[in-house]
C-alpha cells in the first residue's frame, strides 16, 4: 500500500509534514521518530504489520520534510506534542496508539501523559526518560559510560578542547561553535558529535568515525536541533515521566529494551515498567540501543501481538 503525504497548516513559523501508511481501516498508530533532530523513515512504519495497521509518521519541527528545515524558534517538546494532536484532529482519529524508540519513546510517554483519553496504548523501545541522570551518564559524567569507551571519550575531549567546549555546557557551546565556524569546521563539529553517540548504539560493533567530508546539511541540522533540545534539558522538568507515571499506569504498554544498551541502560526502562500496572517489559538479550536483527524480530512480533490484543 502506498503512503499518503500531508502537511499541517503553518503554525508558529513551522509547516509539519506527515504521512499515512498501511491499512486505512486498521487501528491507528502514531510513530514518533528519534533524535531530537532526526526524521521519519520507512522502517518506522515497517516495524508494524501494514496489512493490518494504519501507521502515521511525521517529521518533527525543523526535521526532514518539515519546514523551515533547522528552525529552532518555537521548537519545543510541547510544540511537538501539540503537532501530534493537530495530526490526530486533521485525520479524524478519536484514539490511537503511540510508538517510538529512544527520543521517540520519550515523546510517546509524554503524549500519553498529556492526552491519556486519546491514547489506546504505548509501544516503545530503547527507552529514554530525558532525566538528568540519563543524560549525565551518556554525555557528561566521567564515571558514566565513558568507563566502557575511554578511547572514544578521549577523542571527544580533544574535540571539546579544539572548539572551546566545556563538558558542563556542551550543548550550548556546540551551538556557539557552529555559529563561529567555517563550513568545513561545521562538518567537523557535526562528525565529532555524531561519532560519540553513534559508537554507543551497539556494544558489539567496532568503533568507527565519520569523515567530515561525508557530513551533509541534514547531519548539521540534526546536530543543531539535538543541541537546542539538550541545552534546554529537552524542555522537560526533572523526573517528569516517572513522577507522572500514575496518569498512565492503567494504559496498556509494551516496552522492548536491549540488555546491553549502554547509551540508555536497562535500569530506567525497568523502573518505568514497575510503575505501569498494565505494561510488559521485553528484554532483547542480544541488543544494545540499536536493536539487532534478533531484537527487531522480537519487537515486531511483540508489537503485532500487542496490537492484536488491544485493538478491539
Name 233's Cβ contacts closer than 8 Å, sequence gap at least 6. 130, 132, 135
- Alpha-carbon distance of 87 to 69, in angstroms, equals 19
- Residue 228 near residue 41 (C-beta atoms within 8 A): no
Which residues of 83-150 form beta strands (DSSP E)?
A: 96-101, 119-125
Contact in structure between 57 and 82 (CB atoms under 8 Å): no
Torsional sign, CA 274, 280, 285, 291:
negative
124 close to 245: Cβ distance less than 8 angstroms: no
CA–CA distance, 248 with 88 (Å, rounded to integer): 19
How far from 134 is each of 130, 153, 259, 270, 288, CA to CA, in Å? 7, 17, 16, 14, 15
The SS3 assignment for 279 reads strand
Q: CA-to-CA distance for 194 and 199, rounded, in angstroms?
A: 8
Supply 22's cell numbers: 498501511
Residues classed as catalytic: 102, 261, 289
Angle, vertex CA 142, rays to CA 138 and CA 144, nearest 5? 45
Residue 87 in grid coordinates: 495530526
User: Which of 166, 96, 104 has the alpha carbon at shortest distance from 130?
Assistant: 104
d(CA 280, CA 256): 9
Element (H, E) at 22: strand 17-22
Instruction: Give the single-character DSSP code of 60.
Output: P
Amino acid at each position: 500500500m502506498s503512503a499518503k503525504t500531508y502537511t499541517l497548516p503553518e503554525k508558529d513559523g513551522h509547516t509539519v509534514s506527515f504521512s499515512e501508511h498501511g491499512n486505512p481501516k486498521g487501528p491507528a498508530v502514531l510513530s514518533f521518530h528519534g533524535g531530537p533532530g532526526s526524521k521519519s523513515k520507512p522502517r518506522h512504519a515497517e516495524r508494524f504489520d501494514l496489512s493490518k495497521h494504519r501507521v502515521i509518521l511525521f517529521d518533527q519541527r525543523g526535521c526532514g520534510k518539515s519546514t523551515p528545515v533547522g528552525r529552532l524558534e518555537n521548537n519545543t517538546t510541547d510544540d511537538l506534542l501539540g503537532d501530534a494532536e493537530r495530526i490526530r484532529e486533521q485525520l479524524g482519529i478519536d484514539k490511537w496508539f503511540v510508538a517510538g524508540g529512544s527520543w521517540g519513546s520519550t515523546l510517546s510517554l509524554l503524549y500519553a501523559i498529556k492526552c491519556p483519553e486519546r491514547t489506546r496504548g504505548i509501544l516503545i523501545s530503547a527507552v529514554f526518560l530525558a532525566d538528568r541522570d540519563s543524560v549525565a551518564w551518556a554525555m557528561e559524567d566521567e564515571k558514566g559510560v565513558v568507563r566502557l569507551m575511554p578511547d572514544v571519550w578521549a577523542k571527544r575531549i580533544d574535540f571539546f578542547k579544539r572548539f572551546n567546549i566545556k563538558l558542563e555546557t556542551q550543548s550550548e557551546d556546540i551551538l556557539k561553535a557552529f555559529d563561529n565556524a567555517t563550513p568545513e569546521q561545521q562538518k567537523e563539529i557535526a562528525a565529532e558529535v555524531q561519532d560519540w553517540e553513534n559508537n554507543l548504539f551497539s556494544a558489539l560493533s567496532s568503533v568507527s568515525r565519520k569523515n567530515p567530508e561525508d557530513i551533509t546539511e541534514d547531519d548539521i541540522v540534526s546536530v543543531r536541533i539535538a543541541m537546542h533540545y539538550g541545552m534546554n534539558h529537552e524542555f522537560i522538568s526533572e523526573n517528569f515521566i516517572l513522577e507522572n507515571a500514575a496518569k498512565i499506569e492503567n494504559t496498556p504498554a509494551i516496552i522492548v529494551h536491549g540488555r546491553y544498551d549502554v547509551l540508555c541502560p536497562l535500569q530506567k526502562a525497568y523502573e518505568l515498567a514497575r510503575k505501569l500496572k498494565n505494561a510488559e517489559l521485553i528484554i532483547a538479550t542480544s541488543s544494545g540501543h540499536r536493536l539487532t536483527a534478533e531484537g527487531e524480530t522480537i519487537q515486531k512480533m511483540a508489537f503485532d501481538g500487542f496490537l492484536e490484543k488491544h485493538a478491539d
